[in-house]
């Protein structure tokens, strides 16, 4: 399951989607909007995405994680739009026969997402608005 959506993330649905009798462990990562960044207060975050390309890249990352770490299932949901402090941004669930592979694959997925997927974040602070983790490309 790979989704990009505006609405909040149904964590229970994602967990159920990766569960299987063959999986002895499920590792998750939940990213949320924090109230600070690099010494500045953050009031909100806006997330933009090139959806078609993002879905394609996420599919590649999912396949790579399954191949490299031998995990059974990878699920990922990423939000876009205007988010408030405390809101969920991204949720990843990885199911594997053993915990070690699941932990490694989950870290791989979030790290690769940050590097390769066309998603841009803009933080609103008292000092102004700032693009983070790369610049927005039009």
Q: Which residues contact 46 (CB under 8 A, 6 or more apart)?
A: 81, 82, 83, 121, 122, 124
- pLDDT of res. 107: 98
- Of 48, 57, 40, 60, the C-alpha closest to 89 is 48
Q: d(Cα 92, Cα 121) in Å, to the nearest integer?
A: 18
Q: What is the per-residue pLDDT for 136?
A: 44
Residue with the two structure tokens 């053993």: 98
pTM of the model: 0.92
**Residue 92: CB partners within 8 Å, gap ≥ 6?**
28, 29, 74, 75, 76, 106, 109, 110
The domain made up of 2-126 has a fold known as Aldehyde Oxidoreductase; domain 3 (3.90.1170)
Can you list the residues of the chain whose pLDDT is less than 70?
Answer: 133-138
Segment holding 25, helix H or strand E: strand 25-32
The domain ranges of the chain are 2-126
Do 63 and 1 meet the contact criterion of CB atoms below 8 Å apart?
Answer: no
pLDDT in tens, 1-26: 999 999 999 999 999 999 999 999 99
3-class secondary-structure state, position 56: helix
Q: What's the pLDDT at 13?
A: 96
């Amino acid at each position: 399951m790979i989704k990009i959506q505006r609405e909040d993330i149904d964590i229970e649905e994602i967990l159920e989607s990766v569960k299987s009798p063959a999986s002895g462990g499920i590792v998750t990562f939940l990213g949320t909007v924090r109230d600070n960044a690099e010494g500045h207060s953050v009031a909100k975050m806006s997330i933009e995405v090139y959806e078609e390309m993002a879905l394609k890249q996420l599919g590649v990352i999912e396949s790579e994680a399954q191949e490299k770490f031998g995990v059974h299932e990878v699920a990922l949901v990423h939000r876009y739009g205007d988010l408030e402090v405390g809101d969920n941004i991204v949720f990843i669930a990885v199911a594997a026969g053993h915990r070690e592979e699941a932990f490694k694959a989950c870290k791989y997925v979030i790290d690769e997402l940050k590097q390769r997927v066309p998603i841009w974040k803009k933080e609103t602070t008292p000092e102004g608005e700032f693009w983070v983790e790369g610049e927005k490309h039009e």
